[in-house]
């Protein structure tokens, strides 16, 4: 059910149409019976009128058969005396159209079905036989009934419009509630006002307010947990690092010591990533949106990491020009840092990393190409999942990581209504990361 309004209108109109149809069918049947009684009474009256006229205007009781110039196609009559035809309508046959027995009788005459009425005048000793075509009766009855039903059917569209307006007016409080919910700020989890609301909506508003309360508590709990846990872990990690540094003077060449050092570095990196992930909540990011120059931001971050790239004998370059997007500078900085960090980690020594800023009329694209091993196409689907790493923790590159970097990148891209794709680089042969943003219109 896509629309309550459409559903209600269709159901109400269907019920009304069905009710009208059944009423019309019932009325049609009853009207046919009533019409038949009316036509029968009319046939009796015509027959009796003919008998009265014949009784008072005949010149003699014996006369030769003659025809009355009565050319009505649906009514014929005959007057008989002593088994002799005295008078008939012009289209009536010469044979008796019914048996000589008073009352109604249905007969086939002149290729049609007729309703006949037989009247015997005992004083004057003559029979009057009158007949009407049954099919003409039905046509006249149906015409009369349709003239009554058709105006009702014509009123159905107008009735549908009235129902539409009434249902729309009745559903207006629901529409108003949806507008109120849509206009709420991301941070606004305050309960809705219940006063002056229709009784049918109060239960819904109670449920929404209860949901707001649970969401607020859940968000606050999650925020506090991730933040507190990360901060609390920093202290012991720092202490462990100090002890490892002191220990390195004696056992720096021990492989167990090196594995321990890698594990500690990975744990420290995981804590920092959790903090970063917590900072990218929608309400925090969207509230800080403004015009950010992607080119200048990339240039600044490359300059900060340039020495790291140089120590690994990696060539890094930036191509493009100033490009403004609407976004949060801190979040975009985190996005570029993660992408540059991945390019640095997974590009072998003496390799190359190239950053491109490409502009169109409506979009700005940030591309990072490298000469690394890349990512197989069948493994790119899960690469943005949290805590997912290619080949698990035992990554072939032996590089410390926790699988949160690209998850953070994707989340930031979604918060900025952008798109991200991973492809094989046609420029350098390694991985190509393509991030597209909507261009700032100012």
At 319 the pLDDT is 92
Q: Indicate whether 366 belongs to any domain.
A: yes
Q: What pLDDT does 279 receive?
A: 60
How far, in whole angstroms, is CA 108 from its chain's centroid? 62
For residue 166, tell me if it sits in a domain. Answer: no
SS3 of the chain: CCCHHHHHHHHHHHHHHHHHHHHHHHHHHHHHHHHHHHHHHHHHHHHHHHHHHHHHHCCCCCCCCEEECCCCCCEEEEEEECCEEEEEECCCCCCCCCCCCCEEEEEEECCEEEEEEEEEECCCCEEEEEEEEHHHHHHHHHHHHHHHHHHHHHHHHHHHHHHHHHHHHHHHHHHHHHHHHHCCCCCCCCCCCCCCCCHHHHHHHHHHHHHHHHHHHHHHHHHHHHHHHHHHHHHHHHHHHHHHHHHHHHHCCCHHHHHHHHHHHHHHHHHHHHHHHHHCCHHHHHCCCEEEEHHHHHHHHHHHHHHHHHHCCCEEEEECCCCEEEECHHHHHHHHHHHHHHHHHHCCCCCEEEEEEEECCCEEEEEEEECCCCCCHHHCCCCCCCCCCCCCCCCCCCCCCCCCHHHHHHHHHHHCCCEEEEEECCCCCCEEEEEEEEECCC
301 and 251, same structural domain? no
With a threshold of 0.95, does the pTM exceed it? Answer: no
Residues 17 and 52 in one domain: yes
Residue 377 tokens read as 């196409």
Strand-strand pairing, 363-370 and 352-359: antiparallel
Helix 329-346 vs helix 255-279: crossing angle, to nearest 10: 150
Q: Give domain status of residue 163, yes or no.
A: no
User: What pLDDT shows up at residue 62?
Assistant: 42
173 belongs to a structural domain: no
Looking at the structure, tell me whether residues 201 and 90 fall in a common domain. no
Print the domain residue range for 193: 187-279
Query: Three-state SS across 37-50?
Result: HHHHHHHHHHHHHH
Q: 344: how many CB neighbours lie within 10 A of its CB?
A: 20
Provide the domain count of the chain.
3
150, 178, 209 - which closes a domain: 150
* 300 & 430 share domain: yes
- Alpha-carbon distance of 326 to 440, in angstroms, equals 6
**Would you give per-residue pLDDT tens digits along the chain (442 residues)?**
567 777 777 888 788 778 877 777 777 777 777 778 888 888 898 888 888 888 776 544 444 455 555 545 688 888 898 888 888 888 888 888 888 899 998 888 888 888 899 999 888 889 999 898 888 877 877 777 777 777 777 777 888 788 888 888 877 777 787 787 777 776 677 777 777 777 777 788 888 888 888 887 877 776 677 667 666 777 787 888 787 777 777 776 777 777 777 777 767 766 776 666 566 566 666 767 888 999 999 999 999 888 889 999 999 999 999 989 988 888 888 899 889 988 898 899 999 999 999 998 889 999 999 998 888 777 777 777 766 666 554 444 455 555 677 888 888 888 888 999 888 888 888 899 999 998 887 6
pLDDT of the residue at 365: 92
Residue length, the chain? 442
- Predicted local distance difference test score (pLDDT) of residue 426: 86
Asked whether residue 83 is assigned to any structural domain, the reply reads yes
268 and 290 part of one domain = no
Query: Of 279, 301, 318, which one is at a domain's C-terminal end?
Result: 279
Q: Supply the CATH number for residue 272's domain.
A: 1.10.287
9 and 118 together in one domain: yes
**What's the confidence (pLDDT) of residue 316?**
93
* Co-location of 140 and 241 in the same domain: no
Q: Which residue has the tokens 């509630």?
A: 177
Do 343 and 366 belong to one domain? yes
311, 270: one domain: no
């Amino acid at each position: 059910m896509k629309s309550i309004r459409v559903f209600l209108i269709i159901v109400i109109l269907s019920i009304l149409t069905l009710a009208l149809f059944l009423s019309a069918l019932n009325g049609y049947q009853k009207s046919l019976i009533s019409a038949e009684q009316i036509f029968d009474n009319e046939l009796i009256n015509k027959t009796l009128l003919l008998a009265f006229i014949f009784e008072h205007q005949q010149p003699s009781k014996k006369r030769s058969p003659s025809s009355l110039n009565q050319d009505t196609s649906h009514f014929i009559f005959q007057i008989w005396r002593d088994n002799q035809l005295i008078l008939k309508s012009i289209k009536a046959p010469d044979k008796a159209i019914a048996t000589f027995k008073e009352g109604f009788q249905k007969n086939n005459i002149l290729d049609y079905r007729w309703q006949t009425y037989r009247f015997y005048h005992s004083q004057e000793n003559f029979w009057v036989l009158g007949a009407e075509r049954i099919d003409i009766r039905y046509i006249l009855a149906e015409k009369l009934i349709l003239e009554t039903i058709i105006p009702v059917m014509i009123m159905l569209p107008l009735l549908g419009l009235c129902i539409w307006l009434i249902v729309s007016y009745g559903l207006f409080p629901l529409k108003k509630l949806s507008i109120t919910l849509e206009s709420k700020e991301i941070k606004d989890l305050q309960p809705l006002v219940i006063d002056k609301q229709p009784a049918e909506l109060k239960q819904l508003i109670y449920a929404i307010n209860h949901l707001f309360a649970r969401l607020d508590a859940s968000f606050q709990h999650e925020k506090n947990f991730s933040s507190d846990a990360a901060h609390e872990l920093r202290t012991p990690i720092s202490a462990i690092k100090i002890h490892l540094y002191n220990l390195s003077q004696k056992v720096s060449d021990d492989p167990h010591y090196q594995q321990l050092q890698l594990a500690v570095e990975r744990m420290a990196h995981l804590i920092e990533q959790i903090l970063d992930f917590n900072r990218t909540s929608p309400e925090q990011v969207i509230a800080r949106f403004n015009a950010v120059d992607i080119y200048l931001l990339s240039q600044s971050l490359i300059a900060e990491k340039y020495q790291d790239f140089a120590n690994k004998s990696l060539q890094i370059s930036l191509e493009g020009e100033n490009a403004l997007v609407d976004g949060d500078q801190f979040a975009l900085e985190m996005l570029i840092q993660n992408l540059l960090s991945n390019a640095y980690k997974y590009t072998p020594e003496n390799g190359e990393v190239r950053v491109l800023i490409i502009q169109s009329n409506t979009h700005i694209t940030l591309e990072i190409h490298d000469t690394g091993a890349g990512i197989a196409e069948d493994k790119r689907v899960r690469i943005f999942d949290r805590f997912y790493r290619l080949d698990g923790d035992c990554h072939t590159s032996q590089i410390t990581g926790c699988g949160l970097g690209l998850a953070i990148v994707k989340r930031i891209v979604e918060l900025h209504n952008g798109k991200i794709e991973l492809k094989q680089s046609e420029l350098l042969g390694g991985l190509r990361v393509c991030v597209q943003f909507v261009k700032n219109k100012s």
